[in-house]
Structure 1
Amino acid sequence: MDPKIGIKEENLAGVAQAMCKILADEFVLYTKTRKAHWNVEGPNFHSMHLFFEQQYQELDQIVDSVAERIRTLGHYAPGSLKEYLGLTQLSEQSRDKNDSLGFIHELLADHQSILILLRENIKKFDSVWSDLGTSDYITGLLEAHEKMAWMLRSHIK
């Protein structure tokens, strides 16, 4: 059954398409953060292992929430690696070293890319697609990524 929530069907399709790209970015970032957790090495291993764990747990909740937002809008969420890699703006990188600073720089760059994407879309959800709810939802995502990026940046200084 299609949702009757006061948003035109074509607008819901636009919102869902944009949200699927966000979901792909979130999932790729989650996976990269999990990789950092598993593979970090060095004298600060234990603290960074725990730090990356805290970050991937938060991203896991975000991934689930974004997918559920897509379903709330009456569309299906992508759920395969092939779909995510086709939708994401992020890239997978292979690493020669598994040092914490290398992981931090990479993950910070990804959070910043997501922040830019969210900022570019936040008003579009409201003004173009008449979906103030998703615009508000994206504001919350923006705040979560700002905080996670701050935490990463704080390790670099």
Structure 2
Amino acid sequence: MINIGINEQDRKEITAGLNQVLADSYSLYLKTHSFHWNVTGPMFTSLHQLFEEQYTELATAVDLIAERIRALGSRALGSYSAYAALTGIKEDHGITDANEMLSELLKGQEVIIRNIRSLYPLVNQANDEASADLLTQRIQTHEKTAWMLRSLLAV
């Protein structure tokens, strides 16, 4: 039995939300990595490097999110099918245009931002400061990345 000051129902709801963020983050990781491999054009070098920085950051993030889920006593999802069933991030279906890649990654970042933001009322009500801290760090990273992608797209 887990006795950390957060009741079982709140822990289950929080971890369901964190598993959503995990699914979104892993899906965006895969998409970003694919774009890293497949980008072409005059911005190849800069985008190849940018996408590598982004997927590397996401790889670290999925580990932190999964470990928080485990600390709360739930199972962290770990399969493509589980992620695909939850995520709102569309898979890469052969995009080759660099601007379209940037636009798709921006949409993915914004999906994650919205999903993270929706968890705040629950973690605050449960006094789950550790999850709130993780979510705050994630939202800061995703908002900064979204800003950079918007800047590259000039939107």
TM-score range, shorter chain: over 0.9
Kindly state the Cα deviation for residue 65 of structure 1 after the two structures are TM-superposed: 0.7
Q: Paired residue for 1:29?
A: 28
Please say if residues 42 and 100 of structure 1, whose CA atoms lie closer than 8 Å, have aligned partners that are also in contact: yes
% identity of equivalent residues: 39
TM-score normalised over the length of structure 1: 0.92
**Aligned positions, number:** 154
- CA deviation profile, 1:68-105 (whole Å, cap 9, x unmatched): 1101111110100011111112222423x512211000
Residue 117 of structure 1 pairs with residue 115 of structure 2: yes
TM-score of the pair, normalised by structure 2 = 0.93
Work out whether residues 11 and 130 of structure 1, in 8 Å CA contact, stay in contact via their aligned partners in 2: no
* Aligned residue type for 1:150: W
What is the alpha-carbon distance in structure 2 between the residues aligned to residue 87 and residue 133 of structure 1? 23
Q: Distance in 2 between matches of 1:88 and 1:82?
A: 10
CA contact (8 A) 2:26 2:62 kept: yes
Residue 132 of structure 1, CA deviation:
2.7
Deviation at 1:114, TM superposition (A): 1.1
Distance 1:155 1:57 in 2: 20
Give the distance between the partners of 1:79 and 1:151, measured in 2 at CA. 29
> Where does 1:26-105 land on structure 2 (aligned, <5 Å)?
26-95=25-94, 97-105=95-103
Q: Report the counterpart of residue 144 of structure 1 in structure 2.
A: 141
| Deviation of 1:145 (Å) | 0.4
2:127 paired with 1:133: no
**Residues 111 and 149 in structure 1, CA contact (< 8 A), matched pair in contact too:** yes
**Which runs of no fewer than 5 residues in structure 1 stay unpaired?**
none
Taking only aligned residues, the RMSD between alpha carbons, in angstroms, comes to 1.3
Unaligned residue ranges in structure 2 (runs of 5+):
none
Q: Does 1:8 align with 2:7?
A: yes
What is the deviation of 1:38?
A: 0.5
Using the TM superposition, give the Cα deviation of residue 36 of structure 1 relative to its aligned residue in structure 2, in angstroms: 0.5
The CA deviation at 1:67 is 0.5
What is the distance in 1 between the residues matched to 2:118 and 2:74?
22
Deviant stretches of 4+, over 6 Å: none
